Structure 1
Amino acid sequence: MNRRWPLFLLLISLLFSLSGCGSDEPGKQGSTKAVALTPGQPAPDFTLTTMSGQTVSLADLRGQKVFLNFWASWCPPCKKEMPDLQKMSRKYEDKVKLFGVNITHDDTLELAERFVLEQALTFPQLIDKDGAVQKAYGIITVPVSVTIDEEGKIVERRIGQLTHEQMEQMFQTLMMTTKQP
């Protein structure tokens, strides 16, 4: 057997873990045909329920800065970035509304709730049961982070696990956006 084969497999595995988690099953996120959102474009409106039962509508958040993080309990990169997201939720709690969006359509509520407990997350977690928000935001792999300004426009969209520095940069860029008079 070629001695380079294990190294090749390790590199492929590493690339997969850095790029995010996806699914190729029919009807699952990997087969979703969606257009990626671009900066300046209006963010698709949605109304979802949090794990604690509160209803959140993006339209009701108009006038506030919003950070959305799409995730699933089975996604290793999602798990790795959650401690930093928790820190950001505390640091920016008075300036940015941070929400996790569980792709419950490709997950289960029970696993998602366990994930939130294990990660000790205190910022609100939205449940996308039917995948409508996943599709509207063009989410075909997780994690994905999206920032939205006070006017409801996309500021930035990043695919894959974020480092602490990348998150900080996204929050800082969002903070520099100002509401137009």
Structure 2
Amino acid sequence: MPGRQKIIILVLHLLLLLPSLALALRQGDQFPALTGKLLSGGDFEFKQLEGKPILIKIGTTWCPACEEQSADIKKLDTFLDQHQIQYVEVFVQESAATVERFLNHQKYRSPDVAVLDSGTIARELNIYTIPRVILVDKNFLVARDGAPLGDKALKTQLQQMLTGK
């Protein structure tokens, strides 16, 4: 019986891990033609940013790990500006009023574009955990898709994206 219990526990753990392993994007993939809503209510198409390097953070206003990622992004303010990297923050299942309050009172870098996602973007990108950090190069190819990064690791990944390494 103990051997059988170990197998059942192992299978359950694998089933729980599968969603986090099933990232929608691989390095070198074309970034999908996704759309979301701007705080103003207008539509936003990610394709509008083609030709520019993009840092995308997907999260919420209430998530502590998302706040930590925002703090790490804030440390890269100068770097992002110098390299004209577009910072897009996607807020999953959040109202415009909640996001506006958050952005007006936060101590972090405000995104160049704040996108409201009713769940469509999260489903398209297989978002099961937040925050999620995606880097898209100027050719609109995915350079990285994954879990949060500290400021130094994020800067390294951004530099690699910019140099094509």
Label 1:108 to 1:58 Cα distance change in 2 as closer, same or farther (>3 A). Answer: closer
Secondary structure, aligned partner of 1:49: strand
Structure 2: runs of 5 or more not aligned: 1-18
Mapping of 1:128-143 within 5 angstroms?
128=117, 130-143=118-131
Q: Which string of whole-angstrom CA distances, capped at 9 and with x for unpartnered residues, describes residues 142-178 of structure 1?
A: 000001112211110121x321112212211211129
Distance 1:118 1:174 in 2: 31
How far is 1:108 from its partner?
A: 3.6
What is the aligned length? 144
> For the structure 1 residues 158 and 131, does the alpha-carbon distance in structure 2 shift closer, same or farther, using more than 3 Å as the test?
same
- Where do 1:53-64 residues align within 5 Å? 53=41, 55-64=43-52
Which residue of the other structure, out of 46, 49, 54, is the alignment partner of 1:66?
A: 54
From the superposition, tell whether residues 77 and 136 of structure 1 become closer, same or farther in structure 2 (CA, over 3 Å). Answer: same
Cα distance, 1:55 vs structure 2: 4.0
Q: After the TM superposition, which of the residue ranges 84-93 and 136-145 deviates more from structure 2?
A: 84-93
Contact 1:50 1:127 in 2 (8 A): yes
Give me the whole-angstrom Cα distance separating, in 1, the residues matched to 2:161 and 2:48: 18
Distance (whole Å) between structure 2 residues aligned to residue 95 and residue 74 of structure 1: 28
Alignment partner, residue 98 of structure 1: 87
SS in 1 for 2:76: helix
Give yes or no for contact 1:70–1:145 (8 Å, CA) kept in 2: yes
1:78 partnered with 2:66: yes
- AA of the residue aligned to 2:64: P
Aligned with 1:111 (options 95, 98, 108) = 98
Q: Any conservation in 2 of the 1:82–1:119 contact (CA below 8 Å)?
A: no
- Tell whether the 8 Å contact from 1:147 to 1:154 is kept in structure 2 after alignment: yes
Amino acid at match of 1:156: R
Displacement after TM superposition at 1:87 (Å): 3.6
Moved more, 90-99 or 67-76: 90-99
The TM-score with structure 1 as length reference comes to: 0.68
Distance in 1, matches of 2:97 and 2:157, equals 30
For residues 90 and 51 of structure 1, the distance between their equivalents in structure 2, rounded to whole angstroms, comes to 25
Of 106, 118, 132 in structure 2, the residue corresponding to residue 144 of structure 1 is 132
Report how far residue 88 of structure 1 moved: 2.6
Name the % identity: 20
**Change beyond 3 A, Cα 1:170–1:50:** farther
Check conservation: 2:24, 2:124, Cα contact below 8 A: no
Distance across 1 between alignment mates of 2:78 and 2:25 = 27
Q: Which runs of no fewer than 5 residues in structure 1 stay unpaired?
A: 1-30
Could you state the TM-score of these two structures normalised by the residue count of structure 2? 0.74
Distance in 2 between residues matched to 1:133 and 1:167, nearest whole Å: 22
Structure 2 partner of 1:127: 116
